[in-house]
Amino acid sequence: MKPSVRHTLFGTPAAAIASVLLAAVLLYLAVGASLSGYALEDIDWDAMEAPPTATHWFGTDLAGRDLFTRVSSGGRVSLGVAVIATLVSIAIGVPYGAFAGYLGGRADHVMMRIVDTLYALPFVLVVILLVVVVGRSTLLLFAALGAVFWLDIARIVRGQTLRVRHAAFVEASRGLGAGTVHIVLRHVVPNVAGPALVYATLTVPGVMLAEAFLSFLGLGVQEPDTSWGVLIADGTENMQAAPWALAIPAGFLAATVWSLNILGDRLRDRLDAAVRSG
Amino acid sequence: MSLAWLARRLAGVVLTFAVIVAAVFGLLRLAPGGPFDGERALPPEVEANLRAAYHLDEPLPYQFARYVAALAQGDLGPSFRQKDFTVNDLVARGMPVSATLGAGALVLAAGVGLWIGISAGLRPGSRRDALLMSIASLGIALPPVVAAPVLVMVVAVFWQLLPAGGTGGPAHYVLPVLALALPYTAAVARLTRGSVVETLAAPHLLTAAAKGLPQRRVLLRHILPLALLPVLSYLGPMAAGLLAGSVVVEQVFDLPGIGRYFVQGAINRDYTLVMGVTLVYAALVLLFNLAVDLLYGRLDPRIRLAR
């Protein structure tokens, strides 16, 4: 591991805890479902609403389904939705910000006014509206969330683009007769991608929470798929009899979001320091 | 702050709202499936009558004009699903509960967040700073969807200290407000700390100290006004977040607020209800942002001059 990477991941106690926690969660998501010996829909008739035991490490839910498997599988969906939605938001935000910054003037002004306006909207309303309109599907959720979360990335990329739009390599390309689209996509975007990616790491926990929010309300991930939001909703309905069914997915969601936030902040601080010094 | 600036800003708010109205109307009319699709198909005559009663048989531009005309008078139309109720009725019913919840959370988040942020930021690097900021970073990872059910389970069900839901008295609002305010308290605390630390390094504070101003006066007159600016600009997004969070909190605590109607409307495809609540929320957020902007101008002379 390069010293700079090690310093980013383990430089402070909080970052070290977050790194270890995140690695443990990722490992659990990767192999958890195959370790327990139960499939997602397997029902153990002898253990309905069973607390955590040697056979069911995280206990079972109301229907006797193994929670070690379900929390792992739900986590994959939660994280998967978040990663894909983040990629969608990069795909929208990076070109949008790069074109706005490169074009400048009136085009930039109008494009950024649109971003400001969208910022003023409670984003969840937009997602709920989209869900009402297009119907509930996990795939739609990816797209809808990505379509809402691109604003931050567009802003950052625009700011970075302003720094490079008069750089020698851009001027040279223009002097050689390259078109706007070519310059933006081939010369500007690669040079502003780094900061965009760092901010994207802070988008992932945001999307995870949004997914949990929607799934909790019954508007997100649908049966037979599950996610941490769905599991928290199920656990909430039955908290008195089976508190573990609420506490475990809630704990995983909080721990994952916390770790991603800590590491994302750390990456951003390191990047800011690098930009300032150099 | 010039009058021209205010007029431009107001025009912007109205224009934004108009765009939102058009976009939401268009979106909901694009939706597949009608509002009267139920378990059983209605007889065609009944459905035709229903459509005529709600003017759904008219061309879209007419429907839009009708909606806008009603909206201009503050009428959000009838609910498609909850017979005998207009959207205005439902909003008016839910508003007191939602407003109490939202205002409580806003005050708690701003007040406690500022207090934590200032007391941590005045001594950066101290043990207290480290402790408070670790707590704040935990708080950010505890949004209502996590905090609300867990608080109910621990405080209401197991310890039985506070009611688990419903309305009745101030005690019924303690947990909901707490669950809603938690992540925003943490966010305000972190922001405040950051800007206090940054302000402490400003040259005018050295001057103030050199003049021998009492610490209290330095804090109140020279540190806080500057340090509060980033926090103030966070209030807009925070209001939007509180609105969204209140939807979950109302669900968990069984509070009959606007958010409950909104979710029911979304699940039942009650288009007019969803649209009405969306517009109420959007208007609230726009007005809140405007208020924050006005306040910002008062606090920051640089912005006041630029306008």
Domains of chain B: which residue ranges?
A: 87-306
- Model confidence band, residue A146 (pLDDT cutoffs 50, 70, 90): confident
Name which of B143, B263, B289 is nearest A209 (Cβ-Cβ).
B143
- Cα A227 to chain centroid, rounded: 14
The CA distances from residue A167 to A97, A252, A272, A276, in Å, are 17, 46, 20, 18
8 A C-beta contact, residue A224 and residue A40: yes
Contacts of B97 (CB under 8 A, 6+ apart): B167, B250, B255, B256, B257, B258
| Residue-level pLDDT at B38 | 60
ipTM at complex level = 0.82
Strand partners, B78: B86
Q: List, in sequence order, the alpha helices (H) in chain B.
A: 3-30, 44-53, 60-72, 87-121, 127-140, 144-151, 171-200, 203-210, 215-217, 224-252, 258-268, 271-299, 301-306
Interval A199-228 mean pLDDT: 87
Q: Hey, what are A275's tokens?
A: 């930009």
Q: Is the peptide bond before A224 cis (omega within 30 degrees of 0)?
A: yes
Decide which of 3.30.70.20, 3.40.1180.10, 3.40.50.2000, 1.10.3720.10 is the CATH code for A3-277. Answer: 1.10.3720.10
Name which of B20, B137, B145 is nearest A261 (Cβ-Cβ).
B137
Residues of chain A found within 8 Å of residue B137, distances taken between Cβ atoms: 14, 258, 261-262
Residues of chain B found within 8 Å of residue A216, distances taken between Cβ atoms: 145, 248, 251
In this predicted structure, the answer to whether residue A120 has a pLDDT above a threshold of 70 is: no
Percent of chain A with pLDDT over 70: 95
| Residue-level pLDDT at B182 | 92
Please name the residue of chain A whose CA is at the shortest distance from the CA of residue B13.
A117
- Model confidence band, residue A278 (pLDDT cutoffs 50, 70, 90): very low
Strand partners, A65: A43
In this predicted structure, the answer to whether residue A26 has a pLDDT above a threshold of 90 is: yes
Q: Hey, what are B284's tokens?
A: 């609230």
Flag the least confident range among A53-57, A89-93, A110-114, A155-159: A53-57
Burial (CB count <10 Å: 0-12, 13-18, 19+), residue A263 = buried
Strand runs (DSSP E) across chain A, as ranges? Answer: none
Name which of B149, B241, B267 is nearest A232 (Cβ-Cβ).
B149
In this predicted structure, the answer to whether residue A10 has a pLDDT above a threshold of 50 is: yes
CA dihedral B18, B23, B29, B32 (to 10 degrees): -160
Asked if A261's CB is within 8 angstroms of B140's CB, the reply is yes
The CA distances from residue A153 to A122, A166, A214, B54, B71, in Å, are 18, 21, 22, 42, 35
Asked if A232's CB is within 8 angstroms of B145's CB, the reply is yes
Please name the residue of chain B whose CA is at the shortest distance from the CA of residue A121.
B282
Low-confidence ranges of chain B (pLDDT < 70): 1, 31-41, 301-307
Residues of chain A found within 8 Å of residue B149, distances taken between Cβ atoms: 232, 235-236, 239, 246, 250
- Cα B23 to chain centroid, rounded: 21
A204 and chain B: CB distance < 8 Å anywhere? no
Q: What angle do CA A144, A148, A150 make, to 5 degrees?
A: 120
The torsion region of residue B214 among left (phi > 0), alpha (psi -120 to 50) and beta comes to beta
Which of B25, B146, B157, B272 has the highest number of chain A CBs within 10 A, making it the mutation to test binding with A?
B146
| Residue-level pLDDT at A254 | 94
In this predicted structure, the answer to whether residue A136 has a pLDDT above a threshold of 70 is: no
Q: What is the mean pLDDT of chain A?
A: 84
- Residue B22, phi then psi, degrees to nearest 5: -65, -45
A135 and chain B: CB distance < 8 Å anywhere? yes
Asked if A239's CB is within 8 angstroms of B285's CB, the reply is no
Domains of chain A by residue range = 3-277
- Among residues 6-25 of chain A, which lie with CB inside 8 Å of chain B? 14
Strand partners, B86: B78
Q: Which of A120, A164, A14 is nearest to B288 (CA)?
A: A120
Q: At what angle do helices B171-200 and B224-252 cross, to 10 degrees?
A: 150
* Chain A nearest C-alpha distance from B8 (Å): 13
Name which of A120, A216, A250 is nearest B150 (Cβ-Cβ).
A250
Q: How far apart are CA B203 and CA B201, in angstroms?
A: 6
Residues of chain A found within 8 Å of residue B150, distances taken between Cβ atoms: 246-247, 250
Give chain A's largest Cα–Cα span. 76
Asked if A254's CB is within 8 angstroms of B146's CB, the reply is yes
Strand, helix or coil for residue B141:
coil
8 A C-beta contact, residue A66 and residue A243: no
Helix (H) or strand (E) holding B264: helix B258-268
* Chain A nearest C-alpha distance from B212 (Å): 34
Q: Which of B206, B207, B208, B227 is nearest to B300 (CA)?
A: B227
Choose between A155 and B227: higher pLDDT.
A155
Q: List, in sequence order, the alpha helices (H) in B122-143.
A: 127-140
Q: How far apart are CA A158 and CA A174, in angstroms?
A: 19
**Number of other CB atoms surrounding residue A215 within 10 Å:** 29
Q: How far apart are CA A185 and CA A199, in angstroms?
A: 19
Q: Which CATH superfamily is domain B87-306 in?
A: MetI-like (1.10.3720.10)
A124 and chain B: CB distance < 8 Å anywhere? yes
Asked if B145's CB is within 8 angstroms of A246's CB, the reply is no
